[in-house]
Amino acid sequence: MKEFDLIKTYFAKQLVKRKDVALGVGDDCAILSAPENKQIAITTDTLVAGTHFPEDTPARAIGHKAVAVSLSDLASMGAEPLWISLAISLPRVEQSWIEEFCEGLFELCEYYNVQLVGGDTTQGPLTITTTAQGSVNKDKFLTRSGASRGDWLYVTGNVGGAALALEQHYGRLTLSQEDKEAVFERLNHPSPRVLAGQIIKDYASAAIDISDGVLADLTHICNASSVGANIVLDDMPMHAAISHYLPQDKAYSLALNGGDDYELLFAVSESNKVAAETALSNANIPFSCIGQTNASGKITTTMNNKPVAIDIQGYQHFASNE
């Protein structure tokens, strides 16, 4: 099957037809009408098979994840998702694989009314690059750099589930069938916190999505905002299954260093604390206050009000080259 037929057959099949897409998939460019009095948020993410997801990940999960990781970046800026472009390299054309991939892709796009507006299909090792765009009210967006000393730190949902799935995948742990299904759902079908992002944009001073792990992503916020931070481990919302398999210190290490949870990590000033918590509660979004920024210039962790040591190491490509 020729590239062009592929694109026509599958990628043009989506149900989402936004009014702001004047010209969609199929020409040299798509033509989009940006919303008036708003700004555009844009993000690009690449997923490489074997690096960003296990080689045996189902096609549907890969399609889902390709959209989810980009929408998660939009969420962390407080943006409303609009459009997505997809570049995919495939070692060969397997129609059933592409069908399932598109199912996962379009399901999440439909949920958020995001239209696929273009892309490219090439032959090569399985690699997917998505570029997603969303809108924010003018100069009303979150960054990593706005946290002040004394701001409260929050995460949505819970962390460590995706990392536990990878422990099972690499044979380092053996989970029960029930736990396995639960954590692989976290790894393979992450839910981008789009609604949470749009709520916290009115209250948070800084935000990031947890793709590299709580500690690595908190480090990004701390570096960009020139603050330190202390994490109160007692308040860390751990995925329920972790404690079944790991002693406490290893459990915290996994939950804090593991990536791929795609929750939001954000900072809120003392004066916005009640309003932020009320707004999130009203929207039924689970969240936990996990600590506070400070002037220390470093990241520390405490348990039972006592300092404890945790390895700080996020997931870094090429890190092995050092």
The CA angle 216-222-224, to the nearest 5 degrees, is: 105
Report the chain's terminal Cα–Cα distance, integer Å. Answer: 43
State which residue, 41 or 280, has the beta carbon closest to its own copies: 41
State which residue, 34 or 275, has the beta carbon closest to its own copies: 34
Strand partners, 47: 128
Q: Could you tell me how many residues make up the chain?
A: 322
Q: How far is the CB of 101 from its own copies (least distance, A)?
A: 15
Question: Known binder of ligand: residue 212?
Answer: yes
DSSP code, position 9: I
Question: Known binder of ligand: residue 261?
Answer: no
Question: Known binder of ligand: residue 186?
Answer: no
State which residue, 60 or 144, has the beta carbon closest to its own copies: 144
Question: Known binder of ligand: residue 5?
Answer: no
Q: How far is the CB of 99 from its own copies (least distance, A)?
A: 16
Question: Known binder of ligand: residue 211?
Answer: yes
Question: Known binder of ligand: residue 179?
Answer: no
State which residue, 84 or 251, has the beta carbon closest to its own copies: 84
State which residue, 177 or 320, has the beta carbon closest to its own copies: 320
Question: Known binder of ligand: residue 151?
Answer: no
Question: Known binder of ligand: residue 239?
Answer: no
Backbone angles phi, psi at 259, to 5 degrees: -105, -160
Cα Rg of the chain (Å, integer): 20
23 CA to centre of own chain: 29
State which residue, 41 or 233, has the beta carbon closest to its own copies: 41
Question: Known binder of ligand: residue 144?
Answer: yes
Rounded Cα–Cα distance for residues 20 and 41 (Å) = 16
The one-letter amino acid code at 233 reads L
Rounded Cα–Cα distance for residues 167 and 312 (Å) = 18
Distances (CA, A) of 143 to 75, 92, 99, 229, 235: 11, 39, 36, 17, 24
DSSP code, position 283: T
Q: Give the DSSP per-residue string, 143-208.
A: -SS---TT-EEEEES-BSHHHHHHHHHTTS----HHHHHHHHHHHHS----HHHHHHHTTTEEEEE
Rounded Cα–Cα distance for residues 165 and 163 (Å) = 5
State which residue, 118 or 161, has the beta carbon closest to its own copies: 118
State which residue, 108 or 175, has the beta carbon closest to its own copies: 108
The one-letter amino acid code at 132 reads A
Phi-psi region of 68 (alpha: psi -120 to 50; beta: other; left: phi over 0): alpha
Q: How far is the CB of 242 from its own copies (least distance, A)?
A: 26
Q: How far is the CB of 93 from its own copies (least distance, A)?
A: 5
DSSP code, position 10: I
Q: How far is the CB of 110 from its own copies (least distance, A)?
A: 20
Interacting residues with its own copies (CB under 8 A) = 1-4, 6, 22-23, 26-34, 36, 39-46, 48, 51-52, 73-74, 76-77, 79, 83, 85-87, 89, 92-93, 117-125, 127, 129, 131, 133-134, 136, 138-139, 141, 143-145, 208-209, 224, 316-319, 321-322
Q: How far is the CB of 292 from its own copies (least distance, A)?
A: 22
Q: How far is the CB of 247 from its own copies (least distance, A)?
A: 30
Pair 141, 255: CB distance under 8 Å: no
Q: How far is the CB of 245 from its own copies (least distance, A)?
A: 29
Question: Known binder of ligand: residue 209?
Answer: yes
The token duo for 94 is 């397997």
Binding residues for Mg(2+): 28, 43-45, 73, 120, 209, 212
Binding residues for substrate: 52, 260, 315
Binding residues for ATP: 119-120, 144, 211
Binding residues: 28, 43-45, 52, 73, 119-120, 144, 209, 211-212, 260, 315
